[in-house]
Every structure is written in C-alpha cells, then in structure tokens.
C-alpha cells in the first residue's frame, strides 16, 4: 500500500483504498473531495475573497503535490514557475511556441527517463514519479491552452498595460496548480476557471448542487463496481496462443479492454466530481430552466461505448483532451492533420512502442471509417440496411478500439504478440485495405 495510505490509515481510508482497487489516482481524488467541498462552502458563504480563493486553490495544490508525489512534485513546480516567467518576459504573440516547446521537452525528458528505467535498467519506476508525470501531462494541457489563449487574445496579458504588479500573476499560478485539476481532468480553459472562481457566490442553491454531486458520485461507484464482474469474466476465459477458437481469444481481448476502459471512465468521472465539489463546472441554466453542472466533462461512458463509428468514438473519448488535441495540432497542421494529431498524442502519452503503434492503428481506423462511410452511406436506403450497418460498425469499432487500448496500456511490443495471436490484429489491417482501395 502506498506510503500516504499508511500514514492516513484508518477504517475509512482502508475501505476507500480497497474500493479503489489499489488505484492511487482514484483514491487521491476521493480524498480530495472533502477539501474541494469545504472550499466551495467557504467561498459561497463569503468567507473567502476572490484573491483568497486563488490562494486556497494554489496552496491546496502545493500541499497535495508534496504529500502525494514527494520530491517529484518539483516537476510540476518547475512548469508552473516557467509559465509565469514566460508570461512576464515574452510578448503574447510569441508565448505559445516557447511554452509548448519547453513544456513538451521537459515532459519528454521524464518520459524517456521512465523508459530508460524500464527497458535499460529493468527497474520498476517509483510510483510517486509515475504520478508526477501523469500530473505533468495534465499541466502541459493547461499551460499550452493558456499560452494559446494569450496568443489569440482571448485572455489578456497581465502586463499589457505596462503594469509591474506581480500579484496579477496569482490567477495564472492558481490555474496551473489548483488542486481539483492536479491529478485529473477535465481540461478547463483559463477564462472558465476565472469565471467559476469569481461567481461562486451566485451559483445555484446548495440543494441542486448536492443532488448533482451525489448523482455523479453514484456513477463513479457503479463504474468501479463494474470492474469486479469483468475481472471474474476475464478469469473464466482462458487465452490460448494460436488457439483454433478464434472467437474466444477475441472476446478475451475485448473484455480486457473494457476493464481497462472502466479505469479511465471512473477516473474521469471522479475528477469531474472533484471539480464540481469545488464549484467549478457550473454551466448556467438549460432552456428548461434546470441547473447544469456538465460544463466541465470528459463525456458519458454509456454514450461513448454505444457509438458505432471509430471517428465518433475518437471525438467522444476523453472529450476535453480530444478538443485540446484538435486545437493544438489538427487545426494548425497543413499536412495530414489527422495523422499528425494522433502522432502528437503518442508523443504526449510517452512514446512507448506500444503507444506509438496504438495511436497509428487508431489514426488508420479513423481514416478508414471516413472512407467507408462516405462510400456506403448512399446505399443505406432502407431501415434494415441502416440497422445492419450500425450493428456491424459497432462491433468493428469495439474490436478495433480494443486493439488501441491494449497497445497503449501494455506499452511494450508484447501487446503486438498478444493481438496477433488472437487474430484481432486483422481488423486494423482491414482499415488499411479500405484506405488503399477507396
């Protein structure tokens, strides 16, 4: 058990750790929630001024990073200080290139160090370092999003009017280190973050806030519970290399990918809960007059899993990250924007061999989906043809995404052997043929 869990040991903590299935990020986000709720209550009742709210969020992130990551929290503090220096020294029109370049170099250095430990030294990296690098990846999203906002003029530079008051940098520091977003998304823009912090005293009644928060926590509990029957189902199937029963191995890979995806869904949903508990994510009122707390979300797992096209799945999966990739790479690439976006995603994730292969498979699958949909759509003239197309495409989407998830999660090229021995690797090759033929 992690050192932090041992320090905070007790019946409640042990129960939460057991429920989180030993997942430290999920555990820390559950522990984070009471502090986020306390922050919202204090801000709502007027006990915290706007500047004190920023200080609370920043100080909370500072303490949370040190407690969970130890000395490796310096990775995040370096990035936060670097951002402030660049904002202070550079003109807004030049800040994005420098911020993105330096931040990705800093992140890549630590990713390559992890690979050096894994593949060269054959050592298991420190769990605190892995946690810090995961947080550093999220930091990259925030600082690059902010730097592009500054360059495009949607965020005003704090020194635009020749002001030398360094206190104007506090919201920027708070945005980069705020504790609700430290270990999980969803990615929130700087303007949304500032608006949320300033408007906490005029957000909806506490009753609607608590009902919505309770509903999302229950969704997290369901997602974590689903993992247990999936594990038992996985144990009931035996994976046999070069087995004549092709379907059994494919089902085993599919169940494994579902189990891995549930980890993601649970983490994204609990991170959404932490942000909502801190009062971040209120989206105003819908047309029917209902309060909406879905302004900050990585999407619904139920909607994502029901999608019948790989391209739609790619847009819905980890939605705020998909929007970030589209903004950072896809819209700014002149050649092959689709493949450049997926290759950049592999770079951002760590450049492990399995990750590179997984994102190449995903790019090929999405490109093939565009081709085949454009070719078959005019032929879907009857209802039964449309239903048949949707069902077959859903199965194809599930199996190809299974290839991607297994490759990305296993990271090494051992995942290739696993996929090839189950014959499920034929499906990405089918996408390659579709691109060539059509």
The pair of structure tokens assigned to 39 is 């922050």
Stated pTM of the model: 0.91
Asked if residues 17 and 5 have their Cβ atoms less than 8 Å apart, the reply is: yes
Which of 349, 373, 377, 393 does the annotation list as catalytic? 349
Which pLDDT score, from 0 to 100, does residue 184 have? 87
Q: Decide if 191 is catalytic.
A: no
Which pLDDT score, from 0 to 100, does residue 168 have? 84
| 3-state secondary structure (DSSP) of residue 285 | strand
Computed from CA positions of residues 260, 265, 271, 274, in that sequence, does the dihedral angle turn out positive or negative?
A: negative
Which pLDDT score, from 0 to 100, does residue 7 have? 43
359-365 LR contacts (CB < 8 Å, sep 24+): 359/404, 359/408, 361/400, 361/403, 361/404, 361/407, 361/428, 362/310, 362/314, 362/401, 362/404, 363/338, 363/339, 364/428, 364/431, 364/432, 364/435, 365/310, 365/400, 365/404, 365/428, 365/431
- As beta bridge partners, residue 352 has none
Which pLDDT score, from 0 to 100, does residue 392 have? 92
Tens digit of each residue's pLDDT (9 = 90 or more) over 85-136: 999 999 999 999 999 999 999 999 999 999 999 999 999 999 999 999 999 9
Asked if residues 407 and 361 have their Cβ atoms less than 8 Å apart, the reply is: yes
CB within 8 A of 16, min separation 6: which ones? 27, 30, 31
Q: Decide if 267 is catalytic.
A: no
User: What DSSP designation does 21 have?
Assistant: T
Query: Cα–Cα distances in Å, from 278 out to 13, 56, 111, 206, 373?
Result: 21, 11, 31, 12, 43
| Cα–Cα dist 417/422, whole Å | 9
Tens digit of each residue's pLDDT (9 = 90 or more) over 335-383: 899 999 999 999 999 999 999 999 999 999 999 999 998 888 888 888 8
Which of 318, 352, 374, 377 does the annotation list as catalytic? 318
Which pLDDT score, from 0 to 100, does residue 1 have? 42
Which pLDDT score, from 0 to 100, does residue 50 have? 92
Tens digit of each residue's pLDDT (9 = 90 or more) over 383-401: 899 999 999 999 999 999 9
For 350-375, the DSSP string reads: T--HHHHHHHHHHHHHHHHHHHHHHH
Number of neighbouring beta carbons within 10 Å of residue 193: 23
Asked if residues 65 and 28 have their Cβ atoms less than 8 Å apart, the reply is: no
Identify the segments of the chain with pLDDT beneath 70: 1-22, 160-166, 202-207, 239-246, 283-294
| 3-state secondary structure (DSSP) of residue 179 | helix
């Amino acid at each position: 058990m992690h050192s932090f869990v041992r320090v905070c040991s007790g019946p409640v903590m042990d129960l939460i750790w057991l429920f989180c299935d030993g997942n430290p990020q999920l555990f820390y986000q559950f522990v984070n929630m009471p502090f986020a709720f306390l922050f919202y209550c204090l801000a709502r009742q007027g006990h915290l001024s706007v500047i004190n709210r920023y200080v609370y969020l920043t100080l909370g992130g500072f303490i949370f990073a040190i407690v969970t990551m130890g000395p490796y929290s310096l990775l995040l503090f370096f990035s936060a200080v670097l951002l402030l220096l660049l904002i202070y020294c550079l003109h807004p029109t030049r800040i994005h290139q420098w911020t993105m370049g330096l931040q990705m170099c800093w992140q890549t250095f630590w990713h390559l160090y992890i690979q050096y430990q894994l593949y060269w030294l054959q050592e298991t990296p420190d769990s605190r370092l892995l946690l810090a690098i995961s947080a550093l990846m999220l930091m990259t999203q925030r600082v690059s999003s902010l730097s592009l906002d500054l360059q495009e003029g949607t965020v005003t530079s704090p020194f635009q009017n020749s002001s030398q008051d360094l206190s104007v940098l506090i919201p920027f520091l708070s945005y980069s280190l705020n504790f609700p977003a430290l270990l999980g998304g969803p990615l929130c823009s700087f303007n949304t973050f500032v608006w949320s912090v300033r408007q906490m005293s005029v957000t909806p009644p506490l009753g609607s806030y608590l009902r919505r928060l309770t509903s999302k926590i229950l969704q997290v509990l369901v997602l974590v519970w689903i993992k247990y029957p999936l594990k038992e189902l996985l144990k009931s199937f035996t994976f046999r290399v070069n087995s004549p029963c092709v379907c059994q191995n494919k089902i085993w890979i599919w169940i494994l990918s579902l189990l891995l995806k549930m980890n993601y869904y649970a983490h994204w949903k609990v991170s959404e809960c932490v942000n909502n508990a801190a009062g971040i994510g209120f989206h105003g009122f819908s047309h029917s007059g209902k309060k909406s707390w879905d302004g900050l979300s990585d999407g619904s797992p139920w909607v994502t899993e029901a999608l019948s096209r790989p391209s739609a799945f790619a847009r819905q999966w980890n939605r705020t990250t998909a929007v970030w990739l589209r903004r950072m790479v896809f819209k700014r690439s002149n050649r092959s924007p689709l493949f450049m976006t997926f290759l950049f995603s592999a770079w951002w994730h760590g450049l492990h061999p399995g990750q590179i292969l997984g994102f190449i498979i995903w790019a090929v699958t999405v490109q093939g989906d565009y081709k085949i949909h454009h070719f078959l759509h005019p032929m879907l003239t009857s209802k039964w043809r449309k239903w048949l197309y949707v069902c077959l495409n859903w199965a194809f989407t599930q199996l190809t995404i299974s290839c991607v998830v297994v490759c990305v999660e296993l990271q090494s090229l051992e995942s290739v052997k696993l996929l090839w021995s189950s014959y499920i690797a034929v499906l990405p090759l089918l996408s390659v043929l579709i691109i060539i033929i059509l």
